[in-house]
Amino acid sequence: MSGGIKNWPESEKPREKMMQHGADVLSEAELLALIIGTGDSATGRSALDLGRDLLERFRSLRELAEASCRELCTVKGMGPAKSTSVKAALQLAKRFKDKPLESFERFTGAQQVFEHMHHQFRDRKKEYFLALLLDGKNRIIRRVQISVGSLNQSIVHPREVFNVAVRESAAAMILMHNHPTGDPTPSREDQEITRRLCEAGDLMGIKVIDHIIIGDGEKAYYSFTENGAM
């Protein structure tokens, strides 16, 4: 659809679409158009055109977020004001995603853990094995890094996991580690260590609620509990 956004039918304007249907129905280009605000009068390109140009130039929101303001300005029609607005919005999104799970925040499920953690681990070249310690009401007491492994394996011993859980008087825990390959499918070793830690937890009276493997992608995780594997 050509022409300025103000000349479009109301049902097609990004702002009106969001007001009527919510943000989920908007494309990435439409969301960028709302951040950019106005088009480029010199070329007649709308804010939505500029949003599409940014995505074409940088290929994804992830690469767009990593670009500098100077790089954004290389897209025709994207001056300093528009570029800094886009960078500011993407930085806010990054800070929100990177917000750690707070102490005494209640654990609600694997999706909650994934949303808080995957941005921190998706680009790691080694496996990081962590435990989220919980109290009797499933509130988070502490996040503990247990081990750092190689590209292909993470060595975890039940003693290392439960020593800290006992010191913190944890009633339960969630295990979590990342797969540097990006594929969260559990390996045979992942299945074996999960079985061993669940058995140790039963003996110690500290329940292992879930083991979550984080991969790469917006929904790339595997929950042993959600998949009936615990």
**Mean of all residue pLDDT scores within the chain:** 86
pTM: predicted TM-score of the whole model, two decimal places: 0.60
| Residue 228, phi-psi category: left (phi > 0), alpha (psi -120 to 50), beta (remainder) | left
Q: For the chain, where are the E strands, in sequence order?
A: 128-134, 140-148, 172-178, 207-214, 221-223
Report whether pLDDT(2) > 60: no
| 54 and 72 Cβ atoms separated by less than 8 Å | yes
DSSP-assigned letter for residue 133? E
Dist CA 69 CA 65 (whole Å): 10
Q: For the segment 109-133, what is each residue's pLDDT rounded down to a tens digit? A: 999 888 888 877 766 788 999 999 9
The two three-digit tokens of residue 215, written as one number = 């991969």
pLDDT of residue 216: 84
Rg (CA), the chain: 22
Report whether pLDDT(215) > 70: yes
Cα 12–15–19 angle (5° rounding)?
100
Residue type, 163: N
Q: For the segment 66-112, what is each residue's pLDDT rounded down to a tens digit? A: 899 999 999 999 999 999 999 999 988 877 765 555 565 788 899 98
Place of tokens 């081990």: 147
Which domains are present in the chain?
A: 5-97 (1.10.150), 110-223 (3.40.140.10)
Does an H or E element contain 126, and which?
A: none
C-beta atoms surrounding 66 within 10 Å = 12
Q: For the segment 154-211, what is each residue's pLDDT rounded down to a tens digit? A: 568 888 899 989 999 999 999 999 998 889 999 999 999 999 999 999 999 999 999 9
Q: Helix axis angle, 28-36 relative to 47-58, nearest 10°?
A: 120
